Amino acid sequence: MHLAPLSLPQMATSFAIIRCSASAYQRAVVFLCRPQRVHSFSSRTVESRSLKLNNLTRNCLSSSNAPFIVADDDKYGNKQVISITPRLYDYILANVREPRILQQLREETANMRGSQMQGYSSLAIALALPESGCLVACERDARSLEVAKKYYELAGVSHKVIVKHGLAADALKSMILNSEVCSYDFAFVDAEKRMNRDYFELLLQLVRVGGVIVFDNVLWHGKVADPLVNDAKTVSIRNFNRNLMEDKRVSISMVPIGDGMTICRKQ
User: 206: how many CB neighbours lie within 10 A of its CB?
Assistant: 20
pLDDT at 12 over 50: no
Instruction: Compute the distance between CA of residue 111 and CA of residue 121 in angstroms, rounded to an integer.
Output: 17
pTM (predicted TM-score): 0.74
Beta-bridge partners for 253: 263
User: 159: how many CB neighbours lie within 10 A of its CB?
Assistant: 10
Instruction: Give the pLDDT of residue 172.
Output: 97
DSSP 186-248: EEEE-S-GGGHHHHHHHHHHHEEEEEEEEEE-SSGGGGGG-TT---HHHHHHHHHHHHHHH-T
Instruction: Give the pLDDT of residue 260.
Output: 95
Beta-bridge partners for 161: 135
Strands 184-189 and 2-4 come out as: antiparallel
Rg (CA), the chain: 20
Instruction: Give the pLDDT of residue 16.
Output: 28
Instruction: Give the pLDDT of residue 80.
Output: 76
Instruction: Identify the three-state secondary structure at position 94.
Output: helix
Q: Is 83 exposed, middle or buried (0-12, 13-18, 19+ CB in 10 A)?
A: buried
Strands 68-70 and 80-82 come out as: antiparallel
Kindly report which listed range (49-53, 140-144, 194-198) carries the lowest average pLDDT score: 49-53
Query: Residue 238 — very low, low, confident or very high, per pLDDT cuts 50/70/90?
Result: very high
User: 256: how many CB neighbours lie within 10 A of its CB?
Assistant: 10
Instruction: Give the pLDDT of residue 42.
Output: 44
Question: What phi and psi, each to the nearest 5 degrees, are found at residue 192?
Answer: -55, 115
Instruction: Compute the distance between CA of residue 193 and CA of residue 231 in angstroms, rounded to an integer.
Output: 12
Query: Long-range contacts: 29-35, Cβ < 8 Å, 24+?
Result: 29/61, 32/57, 32/61
pLDDT tens per residue, range 129-176: 999 999 999 999 898 899 999 999 999 999 999 999 999 999 999 999
Pick the residue with more confidence: 204 or 63? Answer: 204
The mean per-residue pLDDT over the stretch 199-208 comes to 98
